[in-house]
């Protein structure tokens, strides 16, 4: 049996590559097994001084879509749910290295098909009910059983379907409680990133009693085991959380209250920080960097870059069902100009759908250079010598995201170049929840702005999650499907040998580039800012992190 190892082969080279980006020591240099008694961060939490501030006000650009982590994929929702819920596994602070959480240890069979988890005992949900093996089974059954009575109207377990397959048939065969403190997963086939996937916040364990009693209301009245307890959600304004006084990690959380508020514009958010109205913010504009760095009362925080911002084509709608048209428009986007104008140089041009630091990134793939004359010629070759005949609906993001600080302005810049080649667009920006719902249906927009921040450090979480046919209806908003690509990505998911996985993903990237379902735009370096006396905050490359160790001097 394979037992818990921080450097286990199943974690793959993604963790090693990734921690190089985040500035931590490579886990390859530390082969010791993580202690089951330590906090997931691997280090003791510091304490705030007597009389120190005990409420954190964190500001972000948009509201959550829902507060049940299993039915959302947007980062704004996960920022909240990560404070309320915990999974069996988590990531060590600032990395994607798997660490114990509700499970204190596990064993893996030699054939990679059976995972047996030993659970921590004595943990309670926020409603006072017991966390145990039955609770784990309840949650996974809810996610993979299409006949579950606890899948409510409008619910879609997109992350589960993307990571493990619709109805569970692709990866997970069975989840059973061996005893109250032991859960066993049996797989239909090996999955290389299985542990990485389980550690994602999307698989936070919910109180079965709360799900059963609250039903559809659970998505706005969440109950987990995490460091903070949900108290109030004022839509498009704020979410208020309070300290879990019975939290299982001794001495945590350090704060008594967390308020996660919405201030849509980056500049307004920075002004609020300067005025002392908030304590922590995301999305610092490059134009505000000088003011931030010169203010002794503030601190700059850099999130490790692990994202991609892109323009997607709805390939089920004409004219974007034709790859010739998609390639033509790739030549009409000035990525370097966008980076200089809207990112202050704090980004690099994207060529592939995943960052260069990811396992299997194909550096030999050539980008489509910015060339308007080439774009016109390719449109003519596709049968459009005078440009496209109809105005296209261009969805531009209404909220600032780490990979896209101002979606509307970027869209306007692209719109201007498209018009030069005879492609007219109408920019629309519905509110964030509607935006995502519309993209999932794919009925209104012809092309759209979006992006992705990696959840777990594995290439599968970019390529399969965003571009495999099984992700259509969840995160494959382009409705793209190429059977050869699907085959390569499925093989990459089940292949245990990291070198072989690399080759599979490199082949897939070549085919994706030829098909051009996207225009990959940028990989950004997200900037945050906080009061100078805020301590214990470690930004995660995945864009969300628990606030349990945050405190104020």
298: helix, strand or coil:
strand
Q: What pLDDT does 167 receive?
A: 62
pTM reported for the whole predicted model: 0.78
- Which pLDDT belongs to residue 17? 32
**β strands within 227-337, DSSP E:** 228-234, 238-243, 257-262, 280-282, 298-302, 307-313
Confidence of residue 168 (pLDDT cuts 50, 70, 90): low
Predicted local distance difference test score (pLDDT) of residue 400? 82
Q: Which of 210-214, 220-224, 470-474, 481-485 has the lowest mean pLDDT?
A: 470-474
- pLDDT tens for residues 400-435? 888 998 899 999 999 999 999 999 999 999 998 899
Residue 79 main-chain phi, psi, to 5 deg? -60, -35
* Cα 165 → chain centroid: 18
Which residues, other chains included, contact 146 with Cβ-Cβ below 8 Å and sequence gap of 6+? 167
- SS3 for 483-535 is HHHHHHHHHHHHCCCHHHHHHHHHHHHHHHHHHCCEEEEEEECCEEEEECCEE
Q: What is the mean pLDDT of residues 341-359?
A: 92
Q: Kindly tell me if the per-residue pLDDT of 180 is higher than 60.
A: yes
> What is the band of 159 on the pLDDT scale with cuts at 50, 70, 90?
confident
- How far apart CA 518 and CA 541 sit, in angstroms, is 23
Assign 9 to helix, strand or coil: helix
| pLDDT tens by residue, 114-123 | 999 999 999 9
Q: Which CATH superfamily is domain 2-232+527-552 in?
A: Dipeptide-binding Protein; Domain 1 (3.90.76.10)
Cβ burial of 429 (10 Å; 0-12, 13-18, 19+) is middle
Residue 36, pLDDT score = 31
Is residue 427 within 8 A of residue 412, CB to CB? The reply is: yes
Report the mean per-residue pLDDT for the chain. Answer: 90
> Given the structure tokens 């390719």, which residue do they identify?
378
Return the pLDDT at 42: 41
**For residues 256-261, average pLDDT:** 98
Q: pLDDT digits over 60-86, tens only?
A: 999 999 999 999 988 899 999 999 999
d(CA 525, CA 343): 9
What is the model's pLDDT at position 86? 98
6, 195 contact by CB (below 8 A): no
Mean pLDDT, range 26-44, rounded to an integer: 35
Q: What is the pLDDT of residues 432-468, one digit of tens each?
A: 889 999 999 999 999 999 999 998 889 999 999 999 9
Q: Where are the domains of the chain?
A: 2-232+527-552, 307-524
For residue 4, what pLDDT is reported?
54
User: Which of 21-30, 309-318, 325-334 is predicted with the least confidence, judged by mean pLDDT?
Assistant: 21-30
Does residue 22 carry a pLDDT above 60?
no
CATH number (1.10.10.10, 3.90.1150.10, 3.10.105.10, 3.40.50.720) of 307-524 reads 3.10.105.10
| Cβ neighbours around 2 below 10 Å, total | 14
């Amino acid at each position: 049996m394979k037992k818990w190892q921080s450097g286990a082969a199943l974690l793959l080279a993604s963790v090693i590559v990734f921690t190089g980006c985040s500035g931590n020591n490579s886990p390859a240099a530390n082969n010791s097994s993580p202690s089951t008694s330590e906090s997931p961060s691997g280090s003791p939490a510091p304490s705030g001084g007597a009389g120190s501030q005990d409420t954190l006000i964190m500001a972000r650009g948009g509201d959550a879509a829902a507060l049940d982590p299993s039915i959302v994929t947007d980062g704004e929702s996960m920022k909240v749910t990560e404070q309320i819920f915990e999974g069996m596994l988590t990531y060590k602070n600032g990395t994607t290295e798997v660490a114990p959480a509700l499970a204190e240890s596990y064993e893996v069979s030699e054939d990679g098909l059976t995972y047996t988890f030993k659970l921590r005992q004595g943990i309670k949900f926020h409603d006072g009910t017991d966390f145990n093996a039955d609770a784990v089974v309840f949650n996974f059954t809810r996610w993979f059983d299409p006949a579950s009575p606890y899948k409510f109207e409008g619910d879609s377990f997109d992350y589960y379907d993307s990571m493990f397959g619709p109805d569970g048939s692709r990866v997970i065969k069975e989840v059973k409680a061996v005893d109250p403190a032991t859960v066993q997963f049996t797989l239909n086939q090996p999955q290389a990133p299985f542990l990485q996937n389980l550690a994602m916040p999307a698989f936070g364990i919910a109180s079965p009693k709360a799900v059963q009693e609250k039903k559809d209301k659970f998505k706005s009245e969440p109950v987990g085991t995490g460091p903070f307890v949900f108290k109030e959600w004022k839509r498009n304004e704020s979410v208020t959380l309070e300290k879990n006084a019975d939290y299982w990690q001794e001495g945590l959380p350090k704060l008594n209250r967390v308020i996660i508020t919405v201030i849509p514009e980056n500049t307004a958010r920075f002004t609020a920080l300067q005025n002392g109205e908030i304590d922590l913010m995301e999305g610092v504009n490059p134009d505000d960097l000088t003011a931030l760095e010169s203010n002794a009362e503030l601190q700059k925080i850099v999130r490790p870059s692990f994202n991609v911002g892109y323009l997607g084509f709805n390939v089920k709608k004409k004219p974007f069902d034709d790859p010739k048209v998609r390639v033509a428009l790739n030549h009409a986007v000035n990525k370097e100009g966008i980076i200089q104008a809207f990112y202050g140089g704090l980004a690099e041009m994207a060529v592939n759908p995943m960052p260069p630091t990811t396992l299997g990134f194909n550096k030999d793939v050539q980008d489509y250079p910015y060339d308007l004359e080439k774009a016109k010629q390719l449109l003519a070759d596709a049968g459009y010598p005078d440009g496209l005949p109809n105005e296209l609906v261009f969805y531009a993001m209404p909220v600032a995201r780490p990979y896209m600080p101002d979606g509307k302005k970027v869209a306007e810049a692209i719109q201007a170049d498209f018009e030069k080649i005879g492609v007219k667009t109408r920019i629309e920006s519905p509110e964030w929840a509607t935006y995502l719902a519309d993209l999932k249906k794919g009925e209104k927009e012809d092309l759209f702005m979006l992006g992705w921040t990696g959840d777990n450090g594995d290439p599968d979480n970019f390529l399969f999650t965003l571009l495999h046919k099984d992700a259509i209806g969840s995160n494959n908003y382009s409705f793209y499907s190429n059977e050869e690509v699907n085959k390569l990505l499925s093989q990459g998911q089940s292949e245990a040998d990291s070198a072989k996985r690399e080759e599979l993903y490199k082949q897939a990237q070549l085919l994706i580039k030829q098909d051009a379902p996207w225009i990959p735009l940028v990989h950004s370096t997200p900037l945050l800012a906080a009061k100078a006396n805020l301590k214990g905050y470690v930004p995660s490359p995945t864009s969300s992190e628990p606030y349990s160790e945050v405190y104020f001097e």
